[in-house]
């Protein structure tokens, strides 16, 4: 089987995802095209240089509808002979795009791909696609559906995480993100978003709140307590599924959950011959990929079983991994990962995560792969694992190995 290498990884800054955010007037199509253009320009790609563009995004309606991947190719400077594939694995869409591209290269279906994703959450509202898992009673009732925030609070209750622990993780995420930006650690990967006149719109993650402390977070109300305890009463559904729980401890709020933001990311993946042909040096080998289905009610525990699976399938142990990126969808997701594997939090999300910088759903999986690769190079580490929890109960993971 042919090895698949990462030659480049970049992302846009993450915008606030609101009408007062810098990217609010930028469409999903334009942000995608800008990202594809940056990959093309940085790597001098001409003609049919890549086999396909695989592009993840979650809410595939309105401007993100149709085959956004193909629209983005046509709106970009890439050759029109390059097709496009839009995919959706919820929060892992960007990672799944990368993993799918890598496995296509491994299987000999083309020398190279551009993979990644986009989500403009300030323009296309999360949930506006009317997902069957939430609205169709034939599946929602059978699966004991609850919203993700309730699922995060179920994890906290089941595994014994307190509000203080969740808030402390959030404060640390903010501290690490600011330190990373101050130290220029994202300089090689973050591109500036410009307007149609070439003037800069955004050159940094604008969602960050570096002054966040335990006192500020302590003043916030739990975001999901009302929907859990009062209307529509999702706690009762949760306790029907998990009768061992006497009550749901609602610890999550806006400050220790991922931010609603806009953003895009792209990764250039190819075989050895592609790099030689274009004069490119590989930065890492994609050693392994994995995905798994999990309990759809607690929903967000996927990083644990998918990590167990990817390690077992490839003859590795948790101690073989030097660095981890675990998407900070909610604080309890990362707390559970560290608890399950007894991992030192000091090697998890070293440069902060989605609590501090935001979670543009379709892009985040590709973002954390790029962040992991940058940190492996900066810290001179050999092996890294990126993983995400996924809506409706799934998990995805990727293992990188420097070359």
User: 132, 150, 136: which is closest to 234 by C-alpha?
Assistant: 150
CB-count burial class (<10 Å; 0-12, 13-18, 19+) for 274: buried
CB-count burial class (<10 Å; 0-12, 13-18, 19+) for 391: buried
Measured at the CA of 305, the angle between CA 319 and CA 5, to 5 degrees, comes to 65
DSSP 8-state class, residue 291: E
- Which of the following is catalytic: 91, 250, 252, 253? 91
Tokens 């390059």 locate to: 82
Catalytic site includes residue 67: no
Q: What is the DSSP string of 332-358?
A: HHHHHHHHHHT--GGGBSTT--HHHH-
Catalytic site includes residue 359: yes
What's CA 358's distance to the chain center, in Å?
Answer: 9
Catalytic site includes residue 91: yes
Span between the terminal Cα atoms of the chain, in Å: 17
Residues sharing a CB contact under 8 Å with residue 239, sequence separation 6 or more, in sequence order:
245, 246, 247, 248
Helix 331-341 with 303-313: angle, nearest 10 deg: 40
CA quadruple 361, 366, 368, 372: dihedral, nearest 10: 180
How far apart CA 208 and CA 177 sit, in angstroms, is 8
As annotated, the active-site residues are 91, 359, 389
């Amino acid at each position: 089987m042919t090895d698949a290498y990462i030659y480049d990884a970049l992302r846009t800054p993450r915008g606030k995802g609101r009408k007062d955010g810098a990217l609010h007037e930028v469409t999903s199509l334009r942000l995608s095209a800008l990202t594809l253009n940056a990959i093309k320009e940085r790597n001098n790609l001409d003609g049919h240089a890549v086999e396909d563009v695989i592009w993840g995004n979650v809410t595939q309606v309105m401007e993100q509808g149709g085959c956004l991947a193909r629209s983005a190719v046509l709106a970009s400077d890439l050759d029109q002979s390059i097709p496009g594939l839009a995919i959706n694995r919820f929060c892992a869409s960007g990672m799944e795009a990368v993993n799918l591209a890598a496995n296509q290269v491994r299987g000999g279906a083309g020398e190279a791909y551009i993979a990644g994703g986009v989500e403009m959450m300030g323009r296309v509202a999360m949930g506006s696609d009317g997902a069957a898992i939430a609205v169709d009673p034939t599946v929602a009732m059978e699966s004991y559906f609850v919203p993700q925030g309730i699922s995060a609070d179920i994890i906290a209750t089941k595994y014994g995480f307190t509000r203080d622990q969740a808030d402390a993780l959030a404060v640390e995420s903010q501290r690490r993100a600011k330190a990373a930006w101050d130290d220029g650690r994202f300089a090689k990967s973050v591109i500036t978003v410009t307007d149609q006149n070439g003037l800069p719109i955004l050159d940094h993650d604008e969602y960050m709140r570096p002054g966040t402390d335990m006192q500020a977070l302590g003043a916030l109300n739990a975001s999901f307590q009302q929907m859990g305890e009062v209307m529509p009463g999702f706690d009762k559904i949760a306790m029907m599924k998990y009768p061992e729980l006497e009550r749901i401890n609602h610890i999550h709020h806006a400050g220790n959950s991922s931010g609603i933001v806009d953003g895009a990311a792209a990764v250039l993946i190819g075989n050895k011959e592609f790099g030689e042909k274009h004069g490119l040096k590989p930065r890492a080998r994609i050693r392994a990929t994995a995905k798994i289905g999990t309990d759809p009610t607690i929903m967000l525990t996927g990083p644990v079983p998918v990590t167990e699976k990817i390690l077992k399938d490839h003859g590795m142990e948790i101690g073989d991994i030097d660095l981890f990126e675990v998407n900070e969808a909610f604080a309890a997701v990362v707390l559970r990962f560290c608890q399950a594997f007894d991992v030192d939090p000091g090697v998890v999300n070293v440069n902060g995560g989605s609590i501090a910088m935001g979670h543009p759903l379709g892009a985040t999986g590709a973002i954390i792969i790029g962040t992991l690769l940058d940190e492996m190079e900066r810290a001179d580490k050999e092996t890294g694992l990126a993983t995400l929890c996924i809506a409706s109960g799934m998990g995805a993971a990727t293992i990188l190995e420097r070359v």
